[in-house]
């Protein structure tokens, strides 16, 4: 039986009529030249420029995967990119090379990947590699992905050490907040993004703010909080105490006092 990872990195069948090309020359970690002089760039994958730290390593890994091989190309969009090449998913046999570069940690998700149909798969592989420091991730070659939580960053805070003076309140991960509607709990997580308007300040714990846990502070209470809370709390690991409610189909906690938010890191 194939593992879940194997299923992510492979595809059952490429669409009929997909281009099949021979890789003649590899430029860097995500682009190559075909035997008929067409440049191809891996869709959804960013790598260091060849002259920057990690660029030669990324190229070497990519070269071993594709050079001299006949690969299949699959389009998400038919538009060439700014460098005049074809931006494509590349299959070597049944292996999706775009996914493999992210899985190995020698590429990062590109900034223009938001509209790709495979973006969730690619994002999950990037986060998994960054979380455990695979490939180039330990060397600060790539910017830290949104939503990254490394092993132990949150787990060590999912205990009640009584220091808050609220013993007995269950401590839960932000990812499990939706299991505690109507309950007074302490929720731990990393604030990956913030938003502030004239009416409310929001702390998001996942890029998909419409589906996952968030914390809201209404404008009438913001005078109690640090100046520019949108900067103060962003990228921090926090533990927030309050009642989890369902709002527009997602878990949310409304707080009105900064004492409800403990900054852990």
User: pLDDT digits over 171-192, tens only?
Assistant: 889 989 999 999 999 999 999 8
pLDDT at 158 over 80: no
Same domain, 110 and 198: no
| Residues 166, 186 contacting (CB under 8 angstroms) | yes
Shared domain check, 219 and 185: yes
In a domain, 211, yes or no: yes
Backbone angles phi, psi at 220, to 5 degrees: -65, -20
The distance of Cα 173 from the centroid of its chain, to the nearest Å, equals 18
Q: Are 107 and 42 in contact (CB under 8 A)?
A: yes
> CATH number of the domain that 47 lies in?
2.40.50.90
Residue 88: pLDDT band (50, 70, 90) is very high
pTM over 0.85: no
* Same-domain pairing of 96 and 223: no
Q: Do 93 and 184 belong together in one domain? A: no
Q: Is pLDDT larger for residue 158 or for residue 260?
A: 260
Based on the fold, state whether residues 127 and 181 are members of the same structural domain. no
% of the chain beyond a pLDDT of 70 = 83
CATH code for the domain in which residue 161 is found: 2.40.50.140
pLDDT at 163: 47
CA distance 40 to 33: 6
Q: Can you give the pLDDT at residue 213? A: 95
Domain encompassing residue 78 = 4-139
pLDDT on residue 146:
77
Across the strands, what pairs with 26?
32
Q: Is residue 144 part of a domain?
A: no
Place of tokens 């092993």: 151
In a shared domain, residues 16 and 130: yes
pLDDT band at 5 (very low <50, low <70, confident <90, very high): low
Which of 139, 170, 203 is the last residue in one of the domains? 139
**Length of the chain, please?**
265
CA distances from 10 to 87, 93, 161 (A): 19, 9, 45
Whether residue 161 sits in one domain with residue 125: no
**Least confident span in 41-55, 65-79, 89-103:** 65-79
- Between 36-45, 108-117, 143-152, the lowest mean confidence (pLDDT) is in 143-152
226-251 pLDDT, tens digit per residue, is: 999 999 999 889 999 999 999 999 99
Same-domain pairing of 162 and 124: no
What is the rounded average pLDDT for all residues in the chain? Answer: 85
State the alpha helices, DSSP H only, in 49-189: 55-66, 97-104, 119-132
* 74: Cβ contacts below 8 Å, ≥ 6 apart: 14, 15, 18, 88, 89, 90, 91
Helix intervals (H) in the chain: 4-9, 55-66, 97-104, 119-132, 229-232
Cα 86 from Cα 38, distance rounded (Å): 8
Residue 91 placed within a domain: yes
Higher-pLDDT residue of 18 and 60 is 60
Are 80 and 21 found together in one domain? yes
The rounded distance, in Å, linking the Cα atoms of 166 and 176 is 20
Please say if the pLDDT value at position 13 is more than 60.
no
Instruction: Give me the number of domains the chain comprises.
Output: 2
| Confidence (pLDDT) at 18 | 57
Is the pLDDT higher at 113 or at 12? 113
| 191 plus 74 within the same structural domain | no
């Amino acid at each position: 039986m194939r593992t879940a990872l194997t299923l992510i990195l492979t595809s059952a069948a490429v669409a009929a009529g997909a281009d099949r090309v021979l890789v003649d020359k590899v430029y860097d970690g995500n682009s190559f030249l075909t035997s008929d002089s067409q440049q191809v760039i891996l869709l959804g994958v960013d790598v260091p420029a060849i002259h920057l730290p990690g660029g030669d390593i990324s190229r070497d890994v990519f070269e071993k995967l594709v050079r001299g091989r006949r690969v299949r190309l699959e389009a998400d969009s038919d538009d060439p990119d700014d460098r005049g090449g074809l931006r494509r998913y590349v299959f070597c046999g049944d292996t999706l090379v775009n996914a493999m570069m992210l899985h190995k940690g020698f590429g990062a998700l590109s900034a223009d990947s938001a509209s790709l149909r495979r973006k969730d798969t690619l994002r999950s592989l990037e986060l998994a590699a960054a979380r455990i420091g695979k490939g180039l991730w330990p060397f600060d070659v790539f910017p830290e992905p949104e939503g990254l939580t490394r092993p132990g960053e949150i787990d060590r805070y999912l205990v009640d050490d009584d220091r808050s003076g609220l013993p007995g309140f269950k401590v839960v991960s932000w990812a499990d907040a939706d299991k505690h509607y109507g309950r007074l709990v302490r929720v731990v997580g990393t604030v990956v993004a913030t938003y502030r308007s004239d009416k409310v300040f929001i702390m998001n714990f996942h890029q998909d703010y419409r589906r996952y846990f968030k914390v809201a502070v209404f404008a009438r209470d913001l005078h109690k909080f640090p100046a520019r809370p949108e900067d103060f709390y962003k990228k921090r690991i926090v533990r927030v105490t309050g009642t989890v409610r369902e709002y527009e189909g997602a878990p949310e906690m409304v707080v009105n006092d900064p004492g409800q938010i403990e900054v852990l890191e």
